[in-house]
């Protein structure tokens, strides 16, 4: 399973091989230092995926190439191995349009370019994320410009088939990078009411036996939902209890995760996207947002009566 979503244009039978299909990693740059922070991540992922790196600048009027390189604050050599696309129009529209022309696109972008409230996305990033049907990676500028090496990857999971949909692409990427995969299951905190289809153990008799078995069973079912085998990359299950967004952010920091892959239905309302906004706004590592079908993270919980 590829990290890159297939845009599937036209619905016609595409007989080209994967190698013949065009994949690209697009990095929107607006001339700010914050935007450039996405570059190391994008470059590393393009290399891993064998995709072309596109640096995209959208402005109202075209400028000369020399001026543009300067305006984008690119260091000498940063353009090497990439294509510079200069477009005119509305940034989000043009970025999405350009990406959609390829068979397998992905956008890697900074969460914001100017001072934004803590944990908030900039307007372009928000719009691209909301409208993109393909994978988007959001990088917080606080990450800085250090090299990006993917060694630990996390996939949060709430027990649903939808969140399992993130496993396949994440696994493919982890496998290419030789990274370890951490599946983190977030369940309500002790004392809180469990959702109807809780994936917590229904039974823990002898914990020394039940816990490892439960973890194994959990991963196995996840694999069946996702249609992939985690044996391809070393996977381990972790359990977190509490608010999903907070727990994912905490887990990412504690385990020093390099990239976290989050599944999202695309619904931007507060109850559906609360976890996503929290993760995108607070995770210290880049966040890969994958569009999957189904309901979003369970919202809230009540105490056991």
Partner 1 sequence: MGAATGARQDVASLDRPFRVIAFDWDGTAVMGRKQDARHVCKLLERLLRDGVSIVVVTGTNLANTVAQLSPLIHEAGSHNRHLFIATNRGSEVYGFEGRPQPVPLFRRAATPEEDRQLTAAAESVRAQLQQDFGLEAKIVYDRLNRRKIDLIPVPEWADPPKSAIGKLLEAVQARLFAAGVHGGLQEVLRMAERAAANAGLRDARVTSDVKHVEIGLTDKSDSVEWMVRDVCGKKGVHLSDVLIAGDEFGPIGGVEGSDHKMLTPSSRGAVFVSVGLEPGGVDPEILHLGGGPPRFCQILAAQADLRAGKRPFPVATRAVPLPLPVPVDDPVWTLVQEGVDLSREREYETIFSVGNGYLGTRAALAEHNPLASSPATFLAGVFDALPSSQAVPELALAPDWTRLRVSIEGREVALEPATALAHRRILDMKQGASWREWRYHDPSGRVTRLRELRMASLAHRHVALQVFEIVPENWSGRLVVEAVVEPASGIVAGLPVARPRMLAVPGPRDDGVLVYRTGGKGLTLALATSSQLEGSDAFPILPRLRAAEGVSVERWEVDAQLGETYRLERVASFYTSRDAKSPEHLAKQRLTSAWDAGASALAAAHAKAWRERWEACAIEVQGDPAAERALRFAAYHLLIAANPEDERVSIGARTLTGESYKGHVFWDTDVFMLPFFTFTYPEAARALLMYRYHTLDGARGKAADAGYRGALYAWESTDTGHETTPRFMLAPDGEVIPIVSGLQEHHISADIAYAAWSYWEATGDDRFMAEAGAEILLETACFWASRGVWDDEGRFHIRDVVGPDEYHEGVDDNAFTNGLARWNLRRGAEVFEMLRRRWPERLQELSRKLAIGPDEVEQWRRIAAAMELSIDAATGLIEQFKGYFALDDYDLAPMRAQGKRAAPMDMLLGREHTLRSRIVKQADVVMLLQLLWDEFPEAVREANFRYYEPRTCHGSSLSPSTHALVAAQLGDIPMAMDYFKQASEIDLANNYGNAAGGVHAAALGGLWQVAVFGFGGVRVYREGLTMDPRLPPAWRSLRFPLQFRGAQLEISVEADRTWVRSLGGKPVAVTLGEAPRQKLSVGEELVAARVGRGWRSAKEAP
Closer CB to partner 1, 127 or 217, in the complex: 217
* CB of residue 201 to partner 1, shortest distance in Å: 6
* CB of residue 254 to partner 1, shortest distance in Å: 8
Q: Closest Cα to residue 197, out of 291, 265, 298, 293?
A: 298
Closer CB to partner 1, 107 or 181, in the complex: 181
Closer CB to partner 1, 148 or 214, in the complex: 214
Closer CB to partner 1, 211 or 277, in the complex: 211
Q: How far apart are CA 208 and CA 132, in angstroms?
A: 45
- 270: helix, coil or strand? helix
Q: Which residues contact 292 (CB under 8 A, 6 or more apart)?
A: 162, 163, 165, 166, 263, 264, 265
DSSP H helical ranges for the chain: 33-36, 39-49, 65-71, 91-100, 123-131, 161-164, 167-177, 207-226, 244-254, 270-282
Closer CB to partner 1, 57 or 185, in the complex: 185
* CB of residue 181 to partner 1, shortest distance in Å: 12
- Residues of this chain that bind partner 1 (CB under 8 A): 185, 190-191, 194, 200-217, 219-221, 223-225, 227-231, 234-235, 237-241, 304-305
* CB of residue 240 to partner 1, shortest distance in Å: 7
* CB of residue 264 to partner 1, shortest distance in Å: 23
Q: Closest Cα to residue 46, out of 97, 8, 83?
A: 83
């Amino acid at each position: 399973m590829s990290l890159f979503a297939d845009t599937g244009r036209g619905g016609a039978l595409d007989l080209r091989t994967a190698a013949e299909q065009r994949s690209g990693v697009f990095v929107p740059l607006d001339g700010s230092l914050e935007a450039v922070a996405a570059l190391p991540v994008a470059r590393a992922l393009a290399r891993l995926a064998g995709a072309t790196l596109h640096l995209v600048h959208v402005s109202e009027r075209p400028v000369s190439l020399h001026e543009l390189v300067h305006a984008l604050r690119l260091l000498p050599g940063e353009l090497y191995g990439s294509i510079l696309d200069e477009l005119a129009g509305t940034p989000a529209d043009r970025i999405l349009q350009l990406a959609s022309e390829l068979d397998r696109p992905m956008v890697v972008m900074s969460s914001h370019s100017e001072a934004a409230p803590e944990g908030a996305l900039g307007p372009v990033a928000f719009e691209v994320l909301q409208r993109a049907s393909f994978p988007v990676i959001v990088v917080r500028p606080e990450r800085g410009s250090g090299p990006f090496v993917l060694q630990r990857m996390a996939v949060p999971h709430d027990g649903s088939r939808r969140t399992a949909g993130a496993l396949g692409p994440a696994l493919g990427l982890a496998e290419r990078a030789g990274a370890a995969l951490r599946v983190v299951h977030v369940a309500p905190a002790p004392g809180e009411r469990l959702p109807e289809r809780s994936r917590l153990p229904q039974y823990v008799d002898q914990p020394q036996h039940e816990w490892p078995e439960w973890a194994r069973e959990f991963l196995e079912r996840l694999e069946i939902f996702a249609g992939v085998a985690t044996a391809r990359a070393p996977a381990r299950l972790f359990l977190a209890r509490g608010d999903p967004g907070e727990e994912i952010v905490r887990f990412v920091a504690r385990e020093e995760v390099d990239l976290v892959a989050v599944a999202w239905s695309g619904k931007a309302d507060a109850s559906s996207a609360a976890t996503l906004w929290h993760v995108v706004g607070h995770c210290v590592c880049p966040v890969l947002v994958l569009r999957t079908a189904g309901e979003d993270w369970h919202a809230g919980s009540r105490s056991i009566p």
